[in-house]
């Protein structure tokens, strides 16, 4: 399954959609392409980290802008290689995938906070060591 994030104002989104369909035909692939309007589905776009349109997403791979044919072909092969054999490629699977991605992100938040806290503490400790003490300044 490939997600194509678009917006109504995007002049290049239809071009990329046509490119994907043409390239899939040329390699004999029948991957389903789900078009997602970022203005209507902002949470899904945020979950996938989409910052610009058009953006293609498949699994952990993404491609933003209008790709050259080599980059698009590489993206499609990565998409095919990473796809489960019996994948249910309907609209519900897009939402399930977005929910799963969000849950994974939420599981990492405490670790990121703890990591940031530890980095701050280490940085404070380094600053304290680097600052000359009053006693060492007196001669």
The answer on pLDDT for 131 being more than 90 is no
Residue with tokens 């404070």: 124
- Closest to 19 in 3D by CA, of 36, 7, 2: 2
Q: Where are the beta strands (DSSP E) in 38-123?
A: 55-58, 61-64
Residue 139: the pLDDT is 47
Residue 115: its pLDDT value, please? 57
Backbone angles phi and psi of 91, in degrees to 5: -60, -35
pLDDT digits (tens, 9 = 90+) for 71-103: 999 999 888 887 654 445 555 666 666 666 667
**pLDDT above 90 (res 107):** no
Least trusted range by pLDDT, from 4-18, 31-45, 49-63, 99-113: 99-113
Q: Which domains does the chain have, with CATH numbers?
A: 2-101 (3.40.30.10)
Give the number of C-alpha atoms closer than 13 A to the C-alpha of residue 37, restricted to the C-beta side: 5
pLDDT at 7: 97
Two tokens, residue 107: 């599981």
Q: Which residue has the tokens 């000359």?
A: 132
């Amino acid at each position: 399954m490939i997600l194509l994030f678009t917006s109504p104002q995007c002049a290049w989104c239809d071009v990329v959609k046509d490119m994907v369909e043409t390239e899939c035909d040329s390699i004999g692939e029948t991957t389903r392409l789900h078009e997602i309007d970022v203005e209507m589905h902002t949470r899904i776009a945020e979950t996938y980290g989409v910052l610009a349109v058009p953006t293609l997403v498949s699994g952990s791979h993404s491609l933003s802008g209008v790709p050259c044919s080599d980059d698009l072909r590489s993206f499609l092969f990565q998409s095919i290689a990473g796809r489960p054999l019996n994948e249910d490629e309907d609209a519900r699977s897009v939402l399930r995938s977005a929910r799963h991605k969000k849950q994974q992100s939420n599981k990492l938040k405490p670790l990121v906070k703890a990591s940031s806290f530890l980095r701050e503490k280490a940085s404070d400790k380094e600053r304290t060591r680097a600052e000359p003490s009053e006693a060492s300044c007196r001669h």
